[in-house]
Amino acid sequence: MHLSGEVDLSTHDRLAAVLDGAATPGRDLVIDCTNLTFIDVRGISIMVRTARVIGDAQLRVKGVHGAVAVLIDVLDLTRAVPNLRQDPI
């Protein structure tokens, strides 16, 4: 899955619907954030919810940079969500 642009109040529902459709318990999911320029805390919480849905599988985010990377680091998501992995750029 590829995200681009901004994840904010106007796109939360769409992100949640797409991730709900893509999340399968026990199956890894990769989200490419190379073209993502902004994500708010609600968008991050949708990703965390998806990580919980897939259970023991991994939610891998790749291409994270800029403000998105800062938010993930500040929230220490890779520690707080054991099956979320941030791939290096």
DSSP state of 57: S
DSSP state of 89: -
Burial of residue 42 (number of CB atoms within 10 Å: 0-12, 13-18, 19+) = middle
Distance CA 7, CA 50 (A): 15
Domain that holds residue 47: 2-86
- Number of Cβ within 10 Å of residue 26's Cβ equals 8
pLDDT 10s digits, 16-53: 999 999 999 999 999 999 999 999 999 999 999 999 99
CATH number at residue 39: 3.30.750.24
For the chain, the domain total comes to 1
pLDDT for 67 equals: 86
**Stated pTM of the model:** 0.91
